[in-house]
Structure 1
Amino acid sequence: MNQTVLLTGASSGIGYELAKIFAENRYDLILVARSQEKLEQIKVELSKPGIEIITIVKDLSISETPFEVYEELKERGTKVDILINNAGYGMSGQFVDLALDDQLNMMQLNMISLTTLTHLFVQDMVKNKFGRIMNVGSVASFFSVPNMSVYGASKAFVLSFSESLNTELKHKGDIKVTALCPGPTKTNFAEVAKVKSVEQFNRSGMTAKDVALSGYKAMLKGEPVVVPGFTFKVAARSMQLLPRKWLQSLIGRVNH
């Protein structure tokens, strides 16, 4: 029988590329996103004999939504073997200037819904003695980011949570948690986040396909953390060695 993957933020970018990779490797898919039209298009594109694709149109920035997704799948009798928490977005600008409601909404999606989905589905994984979870963080998970302060903090949470949970689950069965921490990626992230130089951001980034493939391979190997791309891997490690005061000054100037 095929293993079943629950993938959030599946309608574009890294999520879309992950959906294609899983479909090519004959996993059943549960695709969650806000756009019914995009999900139906992806379902048609990826459908093939022997693969089941379920689409769930939900907004995970609403606190009740993770519970609704879980209950819907329980009612269907669908077991989730792999959970990919990919849904999330960023905001660029100074904390005092950005609307509080928008920042709280981002925190709900990037952290709270991710945590809720993980808690719900990991219970079943522990009972079944098997599971894989991949949470999408960022290179921003490794250091604070002036002018994207809440976004950076939310991604630091994702990394810390994922690493800790991976350790906690070691004696619960064949269950692994991977934090995928990409650098700039050629998606619509920069436009949504209102990054000042969208073109420069995308030019320096990897393709969503390459990031997704890196995450997929790391998850299969059970690697706890993966930073796609040699340049970004080196940058993440190097920045951790700098004094935090220097690092803040540097990132503040670059990200102004």
Structure 2
Amino acid sequence: MNTGKWALVTGASGGMGVEFASLLAERGYNLVLTARSADRLEKVASNLRSFGGQIHVERSDLSQEGAAAALVETIRKRGIVLDVLINNAGQGLHGDFVDQSAEDIEQMLRLNISSLTTLTHEIATGMAERRRGHILLVASLTAFMPCPTYAAYAASKAYVRNFGEALHAEMAPRDVTVTVLSPGLMDTGFLNAAGQEPSKSMKRTMTSPRETAKAGIDALFAGRQTVVAGSMNRLVAAVSAFIPRGRLTRMAGQLLQE
């Protein structure tokens, strides 16, 4: 049964984004799907229309300056009022920091931090006024530790984690739920896009995008502050708080290279 409510999913053309969209469609939500590839978005939308809800596709490259604000304005002009925001779009860069281009780093930080923050601010403001809404921010297991060869990426996800957990407390009195999902490695093509071939040890710890997205959606509607997807990942996150930072950094570097 369609609820008549609307959800925005960023990074909806593949990986977890597709799963988020599917899970919300199953719950009866109308969807606004956004990503860089319009063709891939249209395929996702076509598959999800069988659930009976309305689906709008909005192509947007959120790594570009001003893209987040433009997306919000487009949605407003359509007369859509969002009840759910899934801030899923993100990008990684692998390799030594000084070997990466300043332009690539800037684009990644704009996507992972600036656009995420702008979307959250613009949409959360309306939710607070209406006193209803749900926001999911996708961080990463790397948010729990310094990660050599993923230095800027891991730092950006630490921002997302701390930002979202703080907003959970701020927005609770306004009846808006903010939840942070921290996935570990998944078979989504993220590593290939970041420029790293997954090792055998990495492959053994991977969780499925569907399982991870479901953990996030379930936590969001349960009103939880944060969730780490996968039992092994939850153990790593918990233990990381008790390991000296220098040792934790070395361990993270070794794990990402093995």
Fold match (TM-score > 0.5) = yes
Structure 1 letter corresponding to 2:238: R
- Which position in structure 1 is the counterpart of 2:243? 242
Native 8 Å contact 1:163 1:178 kept in 2? yes
Unaligned 5+ runs, structure 1:
none
CA positional deviation for 1:2: 2.1
Native 8 Å contact 1:179 1:226 kept in 2? yes
- Which position in structure 2 is the counterpart of 1:175? 176
Write out per-residue CA displacement over residues 156-195 of structure 1, whole angstroms, 9 at most, x where no aligned residue: 00000001111111222x2010100011111110101112
- Which position in structure 1 is the counterpart of 2:43? 41
In 2, Cα distance between equivalents of 1:202 and 1:249: 20
Is 1:89 matched with 2:115? Answer: no
Is 1:215 matched with 2:232? Answer: no
In 2, Cα distance between equivalents of 1:5 and 1:217: 15
SS in 1 for 2:176: strand
In 1, Cα distance between equivalents of 2:226 and 2:233: 13
Write out per-residue CA displacement over residues 100-129 of structure 1, whole angstroms, 9 at most, x where no aligned residue: 110111000000000000010111101110
Write out per-residue CA displacement over residues 7-54 of structure 1, whole angstroms, 9 at most, x where no aligned residue: 000000011111111111211000001111111111111103641001
- Which position in structure 2 is the counterpart of 1:224? 225
Structure 1 letter corresponding to 2:22: K
Is 1:121 matched with 2:129? Answer: no
Q: TM-score, normalised by structure 2?
A: 0.95
In 2, Cα distance between equivalents of 1:70 and 1:120: 7
- Which position in structure 2 is the counterpart of 1:60? 62
In 2, Cα distance between equivalents of 1:251 and 1:123: 37
Native 8 Å contact 1:136 1:181 kept in 2? yes
Native 8 Å contact 1:186 1:203 kept in 2? no
Structure 1 letter corresponding to 2:106: L
In 2, Cα distance between equivalents of 1:28 and 1:205: 30
Structure 2 letter corresponding to 1:236: A
The 1:191/1:49 distance shift into structure 2, 3 A limit, reads closer
Question: Which aligned segments of 4 or more residues in structure 1 are displaced greater than 6 angstroms?
Answer: none
CA positional deviation for 1:199: 5.7
Instruction: Give the counterpart of 1:162 among 153, 159, 164.
Output: 164
* Worse-superposed segment, 245-254 or 101-110: 245-254
Q: TM-score, normalised by structure 1?
A: 0.96
Native 8 Å contact 1:190 1:198 kept in 2? no
Write out per-residue CA displacement over residues 199-233 of structure 1, whole angstroms, 9 at most, x where no aligned residue: 65344200001001111100010111000111110
Listed as ranges, the matches of 1:69-84 within 5 Å are 69-84=71-86
Unaligned 5+ runs, structure 2:
none
RMSD, aligned CA: 1.3
SS in 2 for 1:186: coil
Native 8 Å contact 2:205 2:232 kept in 1? no
CA positional deviation for 1:64: 0.9
Instruction: Give the counterpart of 1:18 among 17, 20, 36.
Output: 20
In 2, Cα distance between equivalents of 1:253 and 1:216: 32
The 1:68/1:250 distance shift into structure 2, 3 A limit, reads same
CA positional deviation for 1:252: 2.4
CA positional deviation for 1:67: 1.1
Structure 1 letter corresponding to 2:15: G
In 1, Cα distance between equivalents of 2:201 and 2:33: 31
Is 1:190 matched with 2:185? Answer: no
SS in 1 for 2:97: coil
Percent of paired sites with the same residue: 35
Native 8 Å contact 2:7 2:32 kept in 1? yes
Native 8 Å contact 2:136 2:220 kept in 1? yes
Structure 1 letter corresponding to 2:211: D
